[in-house]
Structure 1
């Protein structure tokens, strides 16, 4: 080539921006399948189901490890609007004040809830939602493929436990019902497994659904003999909050999460009894009776007043006048 000739561009072309844009996006394996109820059939293959469960388990364990310091917040993110009723309505007629206490102001951003950590928390919540969705797909696939074996049991065990921790009752209820009433007759659970999952059904009926009679029927049907479960049923029937809190402390974490659904009713019952029968009580006694710290009860709407370690429920009558605003 002569020095005067124009320089030709190299024939070896680099990757163009358009080519880069055409590169396939890496697909999330948990989101690559649809719901079998919507026509997805690829998950009907047994081997594919087993691989899919392994992927779900890996993601779930990794997510728990990343959030091990605050798993309660992670699980609560799956159900951001739980059906929690305030004590304000129930206790308004027992309040010393005309209006329920105002809720505390939200704390300013700190190191614990900085924008970076809030973003990470949102990402974890999205990841948990993906895991729950994948579990639903797998459960539907197991049902669609009429699978009744040890693997199917594993799927339902895992789905039920995760649903309990996340208070995902919409997923928990059909999963537990299928395990006990459809899968168990075809692929019998061991005695310990049946006792565990039947106890979930019993406690769910009694504590979440408020159906103690149905819980008793389930207990007889599956032959569950568990003193802690029986103590909880008795406490709900008799309104014995001391027995309820003691029994709740004795059950395992999954059972405790279900029993927690009855806490509000037990707490309101205890506070109403106190309100009708006492002028003042020890703060510690109220906290033991309700299973809640006094500051939490105030935030929930209890309008009584604390004075020197005592909770003033009602003011005594002074000289024959009404006892509302008097001191002492």
Structure 2
């Protein structure tokens, strides 16, 4: 080759290091599938469904392990606008403070806020993936023991996250469709019928419907019956006692009736007493006195007693 000839590029490939700079984006397995109701068909394969459930379970368990010290906050993040716990609306006729004390602002580091936001996003991904899997099980006409596992898991997670939009159709499908083809065991049927009864009584405020479900499935559970009886009679003592004796999933559902029971107890106290023992008020409402004050209760505390009303001294002419 002469020195005057132009330099031709080499035909050999260069070092692979230059190509490694463009690494492929890692695709999230839980987000790689769409909703079957929107046309996704890849999840209709039974083997794919089983693998997908394993991935969802792994992600959920890892998420719970990372947030084991504050699971309540994690589950609450799935429902950003829960019902208000303020008592001022329900007790407007009683001696309540018009403005509840301003809650103290607790400083939170940016790192903790970022971690909390990331966990909330992960939980949202898990809930979305569960919906995809439930739709896929329905679309594929699957009604075996695996389908039961999917609905068991979906119902439990939905209860803890107060994701009632997912919980209601999942529970109805399990009890009224899947159970007819693949019967649940007696213990399983009792558990999930119990959820249905408590949901109707505590969240939907449908005591007649709850009783109808109890009769239809011949459900017999002393703890569930205690909750129903306490709501019918307005017996807050039995209600709080029953709530302490049930499991975490049932407790999450029964918690939807706490506000109504608490308001009823405070109304009775406000109309019937001038002063009561502080501990008794706390037992009747299921909350500490400081929490009741934060909720808007304007009664005064004096030496372990709660002054509900003060008798005005008569003025002599």
Same fold, judged at TM 0.5 (above): yes
Task: Tell me the distance in 2 between the aligned counterparts of 1:9 and 1:37.
Answer: 54
Alignment of 1:214-253 (within 5 A): 214-253=209-248
Give the superposed CA RMSD.
2.4
Task: Tell me the distance in 2 between the aligned counterparts of 1:140 and 1:217.
Answer: 29
CA contact (8 A) 1:96 1:305 kept: no
CA 281–36 in structure 1, closer or farther in 2 if over 3 Å, else same: same
Scaled by the length of structure 2, what TM-score is found? 0.93
CA contact (8 A) 1:281 1:310 kept: yes
Determine which of 137, 141, 148 is the counterpart of 1:146.
Answer: 141
Any gaps of 5 or more consecutive residues in structure 2? 2-6
In the TM superposition, residue 312 of structure 1 has moved relative to its aligned partner by 1.0
The residue aligned with 1:74 is 74
Alignment of 1:50-199 (within 5 A): 50-95=50-95, 97=97, 99-107=98-106, 109=107, 113-199=108-194
CA 9–114 in structure 1, closer or farther in 2 if over 3 Å, else same: farther
The residue aligned with 2:40 is 40
In the TM superposition, residue 31 of structure 1 has moved relative to its aligned partner by 0.2
Q: Which secondary structure does the structure 1 equivalent of 2:153 belong to?
A: helix
Q: Which secondary structure does the structure 1 equivalent of 2:242 belong to?
A: helix
In the TM superposition, residue 85 of structure 1 has moved relative to its aligned partner by 4.5
In the TM superposition, residue 13 of structure 1 has moved relative to its aligned partner by 2.6
Scaled by the length of structure 1, what TM-score is found? 0.90
Any gaps of 5 or more consecutive residues in structure 1? 2-6, 322-328
In the TM superposition, residue 91 of structure 1 has moved relative to its aligned partner by 2.1
User: CA-to-partner distance for each residue in 1:99-123, whole Å, 9 max, x for gaps?
Assistant: 333322322x1xxx31111111111
CA contact (8 A) 1:239 1:269 kept: yes
Task: Tell me the distance in 1 between the aligned counterparts of 2:299 and 2:89.
Answer: 14
CA 245–48 in structure 1, closer or farther in 2 if over 3 Å, else same: same
Count of aligned residue pairs for this structure pair: 315
User: CA-to-partner distance for each residue in 1:280-312, whole Å, 9 max, x for gaps?
Assistant: 111111000000011111111111111111111
User: CA-to-partner distance for each residue in 1:105-143, whole Å, 9 max, x for gaps?
Assistant: 322x1xxx3111111111111001000000000000000
Task: Tell me the distance in 1 between the aligned counterparts of 2:181 and 2:220.
Answer: 23
